[in-house]
Structure 1
């Protein structure tokens, strides 16, 4: 049997990509916005860059001045635009698979709640450290932006998506990745990651497996089309 023509293969690839994007709209809209804000940071002068990073942070100062915008907008920026490609890969591997499996609204509830909770908890830790004279008062203006809290939560939920025995190796890897920094000189960000990861684990009731739709072992591998 001769292989399909190149044009047919290209159309199949195009249709597969379009199907993937249509089934994970939240992930790709979010990624698009991050791409735009990363271009803004990359093209900005040093002074404007620092202004944008601090103005869109969810630090103590911004949370006191603009609590809702600070919580929402901080999730659409990354501090180093050069790391955008890495985040794009992580979004496709983690967020897109979780969104496709759980559905957009449950995925959004999971990562949104984790982002808010981890941000507030980590900044409360910073405030306590400032009041205890363990951190300088300038930390009220620390740059606290990025998508890592949402990624940590999605990484936790993804544990339930994977079939055995891969699930257990993945779980060990995730715990080591987030746990080692927490146990070896943790920063407020490491503390926030731990909160977000825990919330991801706690979102088991939102998964299709918990709702009796199908156990994770019977689902196709991540990225495969589900009929």
Structure 2
């Protein structure tokens, strides 16, 4: 029981880790052409999304393009574990999904507009776009809710600088997807701060309203003497 309780508290993170490792092992057993085919079919690129391949939104988060970076995976899992532990599985999962799906949708819209306006190359519609980095950026941004107020600005500025430098040094659509995902995370973090504050105030009001009324001591003493 002592072991299962912490594991259950991290059930989403553990499930993700298990599926990511299984997917990596499966992909490593395939030949290069077969690997490319799997990644192309699982990619959340504009071509697949336009054709209605919504399942790619799920499959893509468990895959990586190229050889697996186990240090990166370990870092992401550590981030997820901390986020799920402090926020709860339900809130963590919602942040994960909204960050991943929201950033993917914004990138797809940007690519659609850019390609049709002849600002971007048509080949970007078929680009391989897999991985969990959008979700990770959103989760990192949302953690401002669980930091002391003095650290929230430092956290926000640090992550913003990190993704901005990455976008400047390598201005790909993925880099701008990370910016969008981080913005989603910050927005969710602000929402969680407000929602938890309202819930705390409501609980405080309910607790105060259920307390039995306390009679004034002087009035009680006076009534006692009158009855005598």
Normalising by structure 2, report the TM-score.
0.77
| Structure-to-structure mapping, 1:47-58, within 5 angstroms | 47-58=33-44
CA RMSD of aligned residues (A): 2.4
Whether the 8 Å contact between 1:58 and 1:74 is mirrored in structure 2 is yes
Q: Distance in 2 between matches of 1:151 and 1:55?
A: 22
C-alpha distance 209-125 of structure 1, shift in aligned 2 (>3 A): closer
1:111 and 2:96 equivalent?
Answer: yes
Report which of the two has the higher share of helix.
2
Cα offset, 1:55, TM superposition: 0.6
Question: Which residue, out of 57, 68, 85, partners 1:71?
Answer: 57
Q: Which residue of 2 aligns with 1:60?
A: 46
Pairs aligned (count): 199
Query: Does 1:121 find its partner at 2:106?
Result: yes
Distance 2:119 2:193 in 1: 44
Separation in 2 of the partners of 1:185 and 1:208?
33
Tell me the residue number matched to 1:160. 145
**TM-score of the two chains, using structure 1 as the length reference:** 0.78
Match of 2:26 among 40, 45, 55: 40
5+ residue gaps, structure 2, are: 201-228
Aligned positions of 1:179-190 closer than 5 A:
179-184=164-169, 186-190=171-175
* Structure having the higher Rg: 2
**CA distance in structure 2 between the aligned counterparts of 1:30 and 1:206, rounded to whole angstroms:** 25
Q: For residue 207 of structure 2, what is the aligned residue in structure 1?
A: none
Q: Which ranges in structure 1 are unaligned for 5 or more consecutive residues?
A: 1-14, 215-227
